[in-house]
Amino acid sequence: NFMLTQPHSVSESPGKTVTISCAGSSGSIASNYVQWYQQRPGSAPTTVIYGNYERPSGVPDRFSGSIDSSSNSASLVISGLKTEDEADYYCQSYDSSNHNYVFGTGTKVTVL
């Protein structure tokens, strides 16, 4: 089964940049779109990136997404870190072989 693996946690100081990776277990991650969701403590997830790199309205351009076919991975970059960015982040894609939506393992971002 297709799986998405993320680092358990990352931390950085305010104003700095963090990159969260999302590695596909098999096949080509570029075969289907990748989304990224932010989940603050005690709240529902919200979408920060869809379609690999598109931002929903209201999401600041400090958030950016990309795909790297050579490493079969996706990345979420958060620049100019703010304390409000402290949250869990999940990548998500689709496994066409069994019509299954797959979530990544999740990454906790701590803003020091």
End-to-end CA distance of the chain: 36
- Of 4, 20, 34, 5, which is closest to residue 87 (Cα–Cα)? 20
CB of 21 to other proteins, least distance (A): 16
**Closer CB to other proteins, 37 or 63, in the complex:** 37
CB of 13 to other proteins, least distance (A): 26
Strand order in the sheet with 63-68: 4-5, 18-24, 73-78, 63-68
**Closer CB to other proteins, 17 or 28, in the complex:** 28
Q: Which residues bind other proteins (CB under 8 A)?
A: 32-35, 37, 44-47, 50-51, 56, 90, 92-94, 98-106
**Closer CB to other proteins, 17 or 96, in the complex:** 96
CB of 52 to other proteins, least distance (A): 8
Residue 41 and residue 54 in contact, taking contact as beta carbons nearer than 8 Å? no
**Closer CB to other proteins, 7 or 45, in the complex:** 45
**Dihedral angle over CA of 76, 62, 17, 38, nearest 10:** -50
CB of 58 to other proteins, least distance (A): 11
